[in-house]
Amino acid sequence: MNSSIKYWLYVGSVSLLFTACDSRLDVVPTQSIEQGQALNTEQDVQITLTGAYDGLNTSAAAQNGANLFGGAFQYIGDLLGDNRDVVFGGTYATIDEIWRKTVTTSNTVNRDVWLNSYSTINRTNNVLSALPKVSEANRGNIEGQARFIRGAVYFELVKLYGKSWNDGAPTANAGVPLVLTPTTSVSDADYRARNTVAEVYTQVLDDLTKAESLLPATQSGGTGFATKGAAAAILARVYLQQQNYAAARDAANRVITSGAYSLESNFTDVFDDATNDNELIFKIIITDQDGVNDMNTFYASVPNQGRGDVRVQSKFRQLYAAGDVRGTFFNTAGQNTFTSKFNDQYGDVPVVRLAEMYLVRAETNQRLNTSIGATPLADVNLIRNRAKAAPLTAVDLNAILLERRLELAFEGQQLADIKRTAGTVGTVAYNANNLVLPIPQREIDTNKKLVQNPGYN
């Protein structure tokens, strides 16, 4: 499969399904399949699955670069959870709103995240509906990949648009609409209300658990495609967000002990496409046909083909001790400092990597007073040793959480960690209304069953 294939089969967004045809849908890409001929063969299903992968990066609907795991999920998680560790100095008012926690209901990045997420979900629904067209030998793998994509996207959506699992009652709090079958025409039944946070998490866990059981350990396309380890790694994140520490620990331990991945010897190699496939569990493949990735666009300096928008402050850099190579993995242009994680304009975007799994296992073992796989101290020092940081002689929960922050900086986990630990963003509590994105106004206007999040008009 080639991740750069642009595939438009059906419109997947809730809003586009409920409105008149958008003019850009009148243009049929040369690499698409006519709807009347679609999903008649296994090859058709395979192409649709390729389109779902492409939806995680840049789709034809992405007018504002809101390309999900190609950048938007990450920078929203970081900027919405930022307390001036960085400064957003760019001219994009939509992203500045995210950084300032003043997102409006008309914000187009927010709109396109919703739009592209449901478009991608609908592609997976089409794949899952056509599994009988797939040979028995390939059916499980294809189903597993589609479920992985759908589960991973719904997890990001419920974190962005719903209250945190530990904020009130998940069985009552509004999440996002669950759409689990293909939508090819519009009727009153297609106007979906928001499912509860608990219902969305249940679906996410169902998709990812089935994906882990169905997927192989490796794919011929490499770490740009879902594998058993990728499903387990995202499951570890989901369980951690739910504070189901035993399940999170066990999922992370399955990834570590699978032997399919290993830490890179040098921290800097993790962000070099030529050397990083040992550690990356899942990534978004970027090609020159796709264009640049959003992480490079917003986080990299101008000399590194970026816009130089996200500027790292000394307040954050000072968290690294002397000798820690992560504390020097920055570059300076003019008077501003930038992370060097995304210097490659066409570099693949890491989604989840092995270092995170060691830190999940360390944290959950610490919370549970267990040592499944290794002691928390051993796991933390494994990560620190790779970074040439001085080993610790003892750890507590705060030390492990700090290690997550140092290791995973700018990779999209900031807000999720603050929310699950009931922390604050500066003086803003983890459960503040403005740390949850608004349902885009065009969705509210179109679908009268949708209820807006508190704090938004």
49: exposed, middle or buried (C-beta count within 10 Å: 0-12, 13-18, 19+)? Answer: buried
In this predicted model, what pLDDT tens digit does every residue of 23-64 receive, in sequence order? 322 223 333 444 445 788 999 999 999 999 999 985 443 444
Question: First vs last Cα of the chain: how many Å apart?
Answer: 44
pLDDT at 109 over 80: yes
pLDDT at 427 over 50: yes
> DSSP letter at 174?
B
For 20-31, b/e burial (b = at least 16 CB within 10 A) is eeeeeeeeeeee
Give all domains of the chain, ordered by start, each with its CATH number: 14-287+348-433 (1.25.40.390)
Q: Span 77-101, mean pLDDT? A: 97
pLDDT at 231 over 50: yes
- Could you tell me if 11 and 122 are in contact, meaning their C-beta atoms sit under 8 angstroms apart? yes
Top pLDDT among 287 and 327 is at 327
Question: To which residue do tokens 């922050």 refer?
Answer: 405
Lowest mean pLDDT among 178-192, 307-321, 328-342, 405-419: 178-192
pTM: predicted TM-score of the whole model, two decimal places: 0.91
Compute the distance between CA of residue 146 and CA of residue 210 in angstroms, rounded to an integer: 10
Question: Given this model, what pLDDT does residue 58 score?
Answer: 58
Lowest mean pLDDT among 31-45, 161-175, 191-205, 295-309: 31-45
Q: Span 184-202, mean pLDDT? A: 87
In this predicted model, what pLDDT tens digit does every residue of 366-404 receive, in sequence order? 999 999 999 999 999 999 999 999 999 999 999 999 999
Compute the distance between CA of residue 67 and CA of residue 65 in angstroms, rounded to an integer: 5
Cα-trace Rg, the chain: 21
pLDDT at 160 over 70: yes
